[in-house]
Amino acid sequence: MTGAQPGWQGDAEAIAGKTMQAIAAASTMEALRQVEVRAVGRQGEISLLMRQIPTIPPAERKAFGQLVNRLQQEAEAALAQRKEQLIQALIDAELADDTFDVTLPGIARPRGHVHPLALVTDKVESVFTSMGFHVLDYPEVESEFNNFEALNIPSWHPARDMQDTFWLDDGHLLRTHTSSGQVRTMHQFAPPFRAIFPGKVFRYEATDASHEHTFHQVEGLMIDRHVSVAHLLDSMRTLLTAILERDVEIRLRPGYFPFVEPGFELDISCQVCGGKGCPVCKQSGWLELLPCGLVHPQVLRAGGLDPAEWQGWAFGLGLSRLVMMRYGVPDVRLLLSGDARFLSAF
């Protein structure tokens, strides 16, 4: 600029000059940090210059803003340069120390581990994605309608006694099974469709080697015009072979579940004891893994579908138990124990 400088320009440049001197004089990282806060922090001297814009004559405001921006950029560049100088000075001092041995190995930083539940869940999702399934996620806090009523379990139904429930003060609940996502999916997608929805479920019950109050499931649902139990079994065999990486013995037993008809229990030969009997399988050699069946007409109606036109199958796979079978884990409570020694095995 030519001629006499406006007063604000001299004030701004004086602040910037003082800041540059303080940066150059800073001999430690902590001193440099204090200079940075005083200069360009939220309440720093250069930062506060912008708040003076209303006091500057309108014709000079643009030039004032440009000047303050330039001064701030110069200050930040000087801070970064001085930081590099101080770091290099520390490195040089260490290298000049006769007691410093550059051949010593560095400090080994411990690495985390992927949780076995995450490993198996990723694999399950990969298997079903390859078969054309959507992978969906639904709330853990559910309505009574989605968790019970829509699944053909009215308030008087004895099946509610099979699932001790965590109720919330507002009338909602912590979902007792991932089956609560079935009607949500029917309302979300136009048939035909196929989807799985993995996640945590909660039941107010005593814990033992194969039962936990918080555990993981994955629900599977396929809706089409013509489906059968054979389609369901083929998908389950494909899944179990892929996860366990070997052929396993399974059995299908009739089972009662209000939301499927007919319903089945798919059991797997216990992989912890090899079918000989252990606390996990309650000495039976078999572990209940996968309730399944053809979707009940009442559930289809609750999802807005006509059971005369559409059919479906569904399953509720115990992910926690599948992890136990995959890795030979003897107690389901280990999965959510937070024990780093257990997790380090994976």
User: Mapping DSSP to helix (H, G, I), strand (E, B) and coil, where does residue 216 land?
Assistant: strand
Give the containing element (helix H, strand E) for 197: strand 193-202
d(CA 142, CA 134): 21
β-pair partners for 269: 286
- The tokens for 84 are 């590099």
| pLDDT-based confidence at residue 39 (cuts at 50, 70, 90) | confident
Please tell me the predicted confidence (pLDDT) of residue 3.
40
DSSP state of 180: G
List beta partners, residue 198. 218
pLDDT single digits (tens) 10-31: 777 888 888 889 889 988 989 9
> Between vectors from CA 141 to CA 139 and to CA 146, what angle results, nearest 5°?
80
The model's pLDDT over 47-64, given as tens digits with 9 standing for 90+, comes to: 788 777 778 888 888 888
Look at residue 159 in the predicted model and tell me its pLDDT: 65
pLDDT averaged over every residue in the chain: 85
Whether 299 shows a pLDDT value over 90: the answer reads: yes
DSSP 71-98: HHHHHHHHHHHHHHHHHHHHHHHHHH-T
At residue 23, φ and ψ (nearest 5 deg) are -65, -45
Q: Tens digit of pLDDT for each residue in 115-144? A: 888 988 999 999 999 989 999 999 999 999
What percentage of residues in the chain have a pLDDT greater than 70?
A: 96
Estimate the share of the chain in helix, then strand, then coil, as percent rounded to the nearest 5.
45, 20, 35
pLDDT value, residue 69: 86
- Overall CATH class of domain 116-343: alpha beta
The two tokens of residue 61 are 């405001």
Domain ranges (residues) in the chain: 7-96, 116-343
List the single range of 208-212, 240-244, 265-269 with lowest mean pLDDT.
208-212
pTM over 0.75: no
